[in-house]
Structures are given as structure tokens and as C-alpha cells.
């Protein structure tokens, strides 16, 4: 599934325009449209915080199925929760906060807001490589800011909150459709 070409772009005749021939206003409008479409996958916060949908799973297998379904269903919400926890923990580390914001800007430009594939030295770079490099660079830069313990603990807190919510929140009936979108089924090999 490719995300390229989902938002129409207009190109200008001027060769000096930034970002592949688009004007800065075109880039900003595309960024707003992509941000809105990304946030559209976010579920309503009332649904996430519904106290009537909370309950202990009857077994470990059911807890696993709930976590799997809820991670697919609330993926954008969970990402926002983890980012907010990390952001709040960095408020007392201004250098780390600046690095975090610069890295987020790099993520927006290089991963989330691109219309076209990234081309480096005449070759198309796959999204998986871009994602891996951005993740490693972001984590490496943040760890170099002497807030290592703070960052790791805030990531741990965010992940524990997400997993705890995912295990306790009763999955919707249609959540299996979303699970199939995120997780590929493992094919069974016939035994001989």
C-alpha cells in the first residue's frame, strides 16, 4: 500500500522553488492536508476513555487478542499518548526538548509529509529504510543529550500505559478487520 499521490500537488515552472518544484505555500497546504488525514485515523478520545469498556480479560490468550486488536484500533491515539509522555518528561531538559522538536520536524518532512518517494543518489529509498534510519538517528541524538534515563523511563511509562489500556479495554466486534490490516496472518504449513 503506497501513500504517494494521495494529495494532488501543483508544480511551478520555476526551477528554484523548494521541495521538488512546489512553492512553500503548496508544501504547507499539503502538510496540513496530510496532518488532517493522519489525525483522521485517530479514534475519538471518549471511545478510548470509555470506563464501561474496561474489564479484566478472562485468560492470557484473551488479553493477547485484546492487545492486538486495540493496538490496531487505537494506533494513532497510542502514538500520541507515548509522544506526549516523552514530551512532558523532556520539559525539564531543554536541550533534549529542542533535539526532540528538531527530530519531529525531520520525521514530518522526510516520512509523514512526502508526496513522492525519497530519492538518494539516483535510487529510490524504501519507506522501511527511511523509518529505521529516522528512528535510530532520533534515539541516538536524544541519548546524546544526557537525558538517557529520563527518555528511557518515559518511553517505558508510555508503553506500559498503552499495553495496560490495550489489555483492559474490551475490543470492538469490528476490531478484527483492523488487525488484519496491521498484522499479516501466518500461513500454516501442512505437515507430512
> What domain range is 134 assigned to?
25-171
* pLDDT, tens digit, 9 for 90 and up, residues 83-106: 889 888 888 888 888 888 898 888
Residue 118 carries which DSSP code?
E
Phi (first) and psi of residue 180, to 5 degrees: -65, -25
Closest CA to 154 of 75, 74, 71, 96: 96
152 in a structural domain: yes
Q: Does residue 116 form part of some domain? A: yes
Domain membership flag for residue 6: no
pTM beyond 0.75: the answer is no
The total number of structural domains that make up the chain:
1
Residue 186 lies in a domain: no
Q: Is the residue at 51 inside a domain? A: yes
- Which pLDDT tens digit goes with each residue over 121-159? 888 888 878 888 888 898 888 788 888 788 889 889 999
Amino acid at each position: 500500500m503506497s501513500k504517494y499521490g494521495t494529495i494532488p500537488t501543483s508544480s511551478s515552472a520555476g526551477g528554484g522553488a523548494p521541495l521538488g518544484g512546489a512553492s512553500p505555500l503548496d508544501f504547507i497546504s499539503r502538510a496540513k492536508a496530510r496532518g488532517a488525514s493522519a489525525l483522521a485515523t485517530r479514534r475519538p478520545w471518549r471511545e478510548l476513555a470509555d470506563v464501561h469498556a474496561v474489564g479484566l480479560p478472562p485468560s492470557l490468550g484473551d488479553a493477547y487478542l485484546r492487545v492486538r486488536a486495540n493496538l490496531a484500533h487505537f494506533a494513532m491515539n497510542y502514538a500520541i499518548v507515548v509522544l506526549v509522555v516523552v514530551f512532558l518528561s523532556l520539559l525539564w531538559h531543554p536541550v533534549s526538548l529542542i533535539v526532540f522538536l528538531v527530530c519531529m520536524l525531520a520525521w514530518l518532512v522526510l516520512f509523514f509529509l512526502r508526496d513522492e518517494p525519497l530519492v538518494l543518489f539516483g535510487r529510490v529509498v524504501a519507506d522501511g529504510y527511511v523509518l529505521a534510519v529516522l528512528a535510530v538517528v532520533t534515539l541516538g541524538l536524544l541519548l546524546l543529550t544526557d537525558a538517557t534515563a529520563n527518555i528511557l523511563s518515559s518511553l517505558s511509562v508510555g508503553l506500559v500505559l498503552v499495553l495496560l489500556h490495550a489489555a483492559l479495554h474490551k475490543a470492538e466486534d469490528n476490531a478484527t478487520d483492523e488487525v488484519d490490516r496491521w498484522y499479516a496472518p501466518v500461513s500454516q504449513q501442512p505437515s507430512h
